[in-house]
Structure 1
Amino acid sequence: NGRDPSNPAWGATGLRVTDRARLIDAMQKAGWVQAKAGRILGLTPRQIGYALRRHGIEVKKF
């Protein structure tokens, strides 16, 4: 049914990380640091990385 809490796409709140715009906004605010974006969204860096790959978002390198 797609509601598998062990799936890394699910955050601690049980909400699926599908909001691409919210993810990009958090990454921009965090200076494209996944750990910081994770703190903004309440997710782990691993969940952020998974969501970025799933949405096809390329991490900007500075």
Structure 2
Amino acid sequence: MERAVNEANRRLARVQQIKKWLLLPVEWTVETEELTPSLKLKRRVIQHRYADAIERLYSD
């Protein structure tokens, strides 16, 4: 995963690059309610369920 992020960052300007990321141990699906039936993100659900992880990314 880190190689993919590094490869993507090589094609981006410094301000656009991914600085921090976290691989979650779960897959987001419609059944687990992180995605809509049309596979769009449910931002409120994600922000609520993963608040601690999001906070860690922004606090370091």
Select the structure with the greater relative contact order (CA < 8 A; seq sep ≥ 6).
1
**TM-score range relative to shorter protein:** under 0.3
TM-score normalized by the length of structure 2 = 0.22
* Rg comparison, structure with higher value: 2
The TM-score normalised by the length of structure 1 is: 0.22
